[in-house]
Amino acid sequence: MKNNFLYEGKAKKILETEDPTVVKMVFKDDATAFDGKKKGVIGDKGEVNATISARIFQFLKHNGIENHFLEKTGPGEILARKLEIIPVEVVIRNFAAGSISRRLGLKEGLPFKPPVLEFFYKDDRLGDPMINEAHIQTMGWAKENEVARMKEIAYRVNDLLIDLFREVGIQLVDFKLEFGRAGEEILLGDEISPDTCRFWDLETGEKLDKDRFRQDLGGVEAAYQEILKRIGEPEK
């Protein structure tokens, strides 16, 4: 295996492999919040998030949502199809929390029906500003049909994940998706984990995601482990 770095982000490293169409993603234990202003380490996060992502990407694939995931290899490592990343984050919200609560003065937990979809421009320097479809097209970040496809996939992922998590007693509050191009196709990429979703216990309302780190609630590691325990391991 070649081990040439393609990219190192806050939570993952992306390495080349012998196959130019495949990358190795190494999930780190490092945690950041508030545009990198808050930093820490969450024990075992790399391995737990890689495993949770693998489980979710497999589940989505079985349900007709093609994505970049290929296989879970070593601890904290997955192989994925190499994508030409679209610099846009797609957020879906079923309940108010985080930035939308601050921005619009909404009480945490306010239900959204239909769910709210938002776009953010992926740029750490600018603090990932919120954007709309006109920005995406005018700046050339994605074409109109690509934006339509990302929205369609995001809503389908929401429906599927709401059910997956409800069955194990968890409310899917919100999540962030990233997409990329593989040839002519738009594929779901990046990770889907407690770093990129908000999960609340259906019975107790307890937070089981990165908000435990953001808000210094303690029990961060245990919360991530709990998500994995409930949804289970990916198939080998």
Residues that bind ligand UDP (CB under 6 A): 89, 91, 97-100, 128, 174-176, 196-198, 210
Q: Is the CB of 32 or the CB of 225 nearer to ligand UDP?
A: 32
The Cα–Cα gap between 23 and 235 comes to: 20
Q: Is the CB of 21 or the CB of 132 nearer to ligand UDP?
A: 132
Q: Is the CB of 22 or the CB of 117 nearer to ligand UDP?
A: 117
Which tokens go with 69?
């995931």
Q: 201: Cβ–Cβ under 8 A, 6 or more apart, which residues?
A: 169, 170, 171, 208
Q: Is the CB of 197 or the CB of 227 nearer to ligand UDP?
A: 197
- State the minimum distance, in angstroms, from the CB of residue 33 to ligand UDP: 7
Q: Is the CB of 100 or the CB of 150 nearer to ligand UDP?
A: 100
Partner residues linked to 16 by β-bridges? 23
- State the minimum distance, in angstroms, from the CB of residue 234 to ligand UDP: 20
- State the minimum distance, in angstroms, from the CB of residue 137 to ligand UDP: 22
DSSP state of 234: P
- State the minimum distance, in angstroms, from the CB of residue 106 to ligand UDP: 11
Q: Would you tell me how many other CB atoms lie within 10 Å of the CB of residue 69?
A: 25
- State the minimum distance, in angstroms, from the CB of residue 111 to ligand UDP: 16
CB 87 within 8 A of CB 122: yes
CB 80 within 8 A of CB 25: yes
The Cα–Cα gap between 225 and 236 comes to: 19
